Amino acid sequence: MLDYLKIIHKYITPGTELYRFYMIHVTLVTSKALKIGNELKLASKQLEFIEEASMLHDIGICKVDAPEMGASGKLPYITHIIEGQKILQKENLPKHAQVALNHIGIGITKEEIIERALPLPPKNIKVETIEEKIISYADLFFSKDPESIWNEKTPHEVETELSKYGVDNVNIFHFWQKELVQ
């Protein structure tokens, strides 16, 4: 199994505020993702990958400006997906890098990126594998907000957040729920 803690420690200094927020968030996401993977009876290799990729999916936050969680980088928060992809590619983990890139909500279209002038490459960014879908789904339930970092959102709370970006996002979430939660 990949030593993901070694990679985390390389980019996020243990004992810092950012490390605390990061580790709480990714541990909660990993736990939920593994529970789903086990309920779906995925193969042990798939579960191992889910554990590794869940623990690394937000590694790009070390490059962003998010002082509320101790991140003192220079980039906008949304770019953590691109930065995470770059970091994990540099670590020679291309599949993990795809999770870091693709875990943004339920996905984002090229049109949305252009329309909202987001600092992302103008392309569709969406999950491609069952493992990516499980991790992205689990991630929707946990915030890095200091006030609610330990709280798992209800499906209704996730729907409410997703509805800000259109009914299609809520519909995709419902589809994922039917597919992943048995």
Tally of domains in the chain: 1
CATH number assigned to the domain comprising residue 57: 1.10.3210
What pLDDT is recorded for position 182?
65
- Count CB atoms within 10 A of the CB of residue 120: 20
Is the pLDDT at 131 greater than 70? The verdict is yes
What pLDDT is recorded for position 147?
85
Q: How far apart are CA 64 and CA 104, in angstroms?
A: 15
- Count CB atoms within 10 A of the CB of residue 177: 14
Burial class (CB in 10 A: 0-12, 13-18, 19+), 33: buried
pLDDT in tens, 36-72: 999 999 999 999 999 999 999 999 999 999 999 999 9
Could you tell me the residue range of the domain that residue 161 belongs to? Answer: 4-180
pLDDT in tens, 75-109: 999 999 999 999 999 999 999 999 999 999 899 99
